[in-house]
């Protein structure tokens, strides 16, 4: 459902005949600007809807796999494998431009095997896996705020994020809400080096080696899914001030406003080590792992200590927390 021209001009008799018209001078600049995004009705005589649109949402998937095997000498061989897959699809937003979402997968593996002696074998491997998911919404949040004449919104942590403030005036009207939460990139990267040696001794097959991995992630910081667009404002209207939901919207008087000032988008890196030794004959083995915690780019990580009901934060955040009048003690708040 979309508002008619008369309702946009302040005549609310179609919603509630007892409500007085909204004077043109009382219609807010924000309401006028938002209504330019919402089309006029194009369907008459139907119950429950007065606008329809068949929105194109194309999708595409393409991929490729490549493998090369090479015998270098009678004792050495190698192979390389590369895989790629791209998935692109549109997602329709009510009254706003489509998202153009994409997922890119890249995998690579290089292996070299060297038979040193009939009993002694060495294998070296290098590989990486990259997965990037992009949600591309074409309207930058700061531009939307400016166009809607919304001022005083703190978007210092996300100045270039793409989003659109949410306006919900559907209570009792059936009108479709409009808005788009934060869009951006989620990324996962793993690079791996490994080397293992295999030695055959009678009925024993002994194997030992090392594995090193560099892990990287990046993700959006939001309060999804309930208030996902709060960084740019969520405005919910009820018949509180004018006696009509759409009347309150026209006058720019929401019943509920939600704003969030979230931290920058999160990203972290870790280097992980593994040493192992095993004997397949005796069905036992030994493996040693070093899996240190992620180092978040801005130190924006915390844990909850159930023993004393405190929040454990990195020492690097102590100065900031003190400036916000939050007491810290030995890394705890």
| Residue 203 within any structural domain of the chain | no
Encoding tokens for residue 309?
A: 């009901």
- Do 110 and 38 have their domain in common? yes
| Residue 175 within any structural domain of the chain | yes
Q: For residue 309, what pLDDT band results from cuts at 50, 70 and 90?
A: confident
Higher-confidence residue of 104 and 299: namely: 104
C-alpha 292/C-alpha 274 separation (Å) is 11
Domain boundary among 231, 262, 293: 262
| Residue 169 within any structural domain of the chain | yes
- Do 174 and 315 have their domain in common? no
Q: Is the pLDDT of residue 90 over 50?
A: yes
Mean pLDDT calculated for residue range 143-151: 94
Q: Is the pLDDT of residue 186 over 70?
A: yes
The pLDDT tens digits for 220-265 are 876 655 545 568 888 999 999 999 999 999 999 999 988 877 778 8
- Do 248 and 108 have their domain in common? yes
- Do 180 and 323 have their domain in common? no
- Cα angle 61, 65, 68 (rounded to 5 degrees) comes to 170
* E-assigned strand segments in the chain: 59-71, 76-93, 96-117, 120-136, 162-168, 178-183, 185-201, 204-219, 234-236, 256-258, 266-279, 284-290, 295-296, 303-305, 310-312
| Residue 120 within any structural domain of the chain | yes
- Do 226 and 325 have their domain in common? no
Q: For residue 287, what pLDDT band results from cuts at 50, 70 and 90?
A: confident
> Are residues 188 and 133 in contact, defined by beta-carbon separation less than 8 angstroms?
no
- Do 247 and 324 have their domain in common? no
| Residue 297 within any structural domain of the chain | no
| Residue 123 within any structural domain of the chain | yes
Q: Is the pLDDT of residue 42 over 60?
A: yes
C-alpha 262/C-alpha 158 separation (Å) is 9
- Do 173 and 307 have their domain in common? no
| pLDDT of amino acid 310 | 81
Domain boundary among 262, 278, 313: 262
C-alpha 308/C-alpha 306 separation (Å) is 6
| pLDDT of amino acid 37 | 96
| Residue 204 within any structural domain of the chain | no
Q: Where are the alpha helices (DSSP H) in 134-267?
A: 141-147, 245-250
- Do 249 and 313 have their domain in common? no
Domain that holds residue 313: 302-333
Contacts of 104 (CB under 8 A, 6+ apart): 84, 85, 86, 130, 131, 132, 133, 134
Mean pLDDT calculated for residue range 190-214: 93
- Do 26 and 175 have their domain in common? yes
Higher-confidence residue of 109 and 225: namely: 109
| Nearest in space to 127 (alpha carbons), one of 147, 145, 144, 107 | 107
| pLDDT of amino acid 227 | 44
Comparing 59-68, 191-200, 299-308, the range with the smallest average pLDDT is: 299-308
Comparing 45-59, 163-177, 215-229, 230-244, the range with the smallest average pLDDT is: 215-229
The pLDDT tens digits for 114-125 are 999 999 999 999
Number of separate domains in the chain: 2
Q: Is the pLDDT of residue 86 over 80?
A: yes
- Do 312 and 241 have their domain in common? no
| pLDDT of amino acid 58 | 93
| pLDDT of amino acid 312 | 81
The pLDDT tens digits for 5-29 are 999 999 999 898 999 999 999 999 9
| Residue 317 within any structural domain of the chain | yes
The mean pLDDT value of the chain amounts to 88
| pLDDT of amino acid 307 | 85
> Are residues 221 and 233 in contact, defined by beta-carbon separation less than 8 angstroms?
no
- Do 233 and 332 have their domain in common? no
Mean pLDDT calculated for residue range 56-72: 95
| Nearest in space to 189 (alpha carbons), one of 105, 296, 124 | 105
| pLDDT of amino acid 229 | 52
- Do 241 and 308 have their domain in common? no
Mean pLDDT calculated for residue range 289-306: 76
């Amino acid at each position: 459902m979309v508002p008619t021209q008369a309702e946009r001009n302040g005549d609310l008799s179609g919603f509630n005949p007892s409500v007085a018209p909204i004077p043109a001078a009382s219609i807010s600049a924000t309401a006028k600007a938002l209504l330019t995004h919402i089309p006029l009705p194009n369907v008459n005589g139907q119950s429950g809807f007065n606008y329809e649109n068949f929105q194109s949402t194309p999708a595409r998937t393409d991929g490729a796999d490549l493998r090369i095997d090479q015998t270098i000498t009678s004792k050495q061989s190698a192979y390389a494998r590369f895989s790629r897959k791209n998935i692109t699809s549109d997602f329709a937003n009510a009254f706003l431009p489509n998202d153009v979402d994409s997922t890119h997968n890249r995998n690579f593996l290089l292996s070299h095997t060297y038979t040193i002696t009939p009993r002694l074998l060495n294998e070296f491997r290098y590989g990486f896996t990259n997965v990037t998911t992009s949600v591309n919404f074409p309207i930058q949040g700061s531009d939307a705020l400016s166009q809607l004449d919304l001022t005083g919104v703190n978007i210092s942590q996300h100045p270039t994020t793409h989003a659109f403030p949410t306006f919900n005036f559907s209570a009792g009207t059936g009108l479709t809400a409009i808005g788009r939460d934060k869009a951006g990139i989620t990324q996962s990267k793993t690079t791996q080096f490994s080397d293992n040696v295999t030695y055959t001794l009678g009925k024993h097959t002994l194997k030992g080696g090392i594995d090193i991995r560099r892990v990287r992630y990046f993700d959006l910081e939001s309060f999804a899914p309930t208030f996902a667009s709060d960084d740019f404002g969520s405005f919910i209207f009820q018949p509180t001030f004018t006696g009509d939901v759409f009347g309150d919207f026209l006058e720019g008087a929401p019943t509920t406003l939600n704003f969030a000032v979230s931290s920058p988008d999160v990203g972290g890196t870790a280097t992980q080590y593994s040493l192992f030794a095993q004997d397949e004959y005796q069905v036992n083995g030994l493996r040693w792992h070093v899996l240190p915690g992620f180092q978040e780019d801005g130190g924006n990580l915390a844990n909850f200590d159930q023993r004393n009901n405190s929040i454990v934060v990195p020492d690097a955040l102590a100065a900031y927390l003190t400036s916000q009048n939050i007491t810290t003690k030995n890394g705890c708040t």
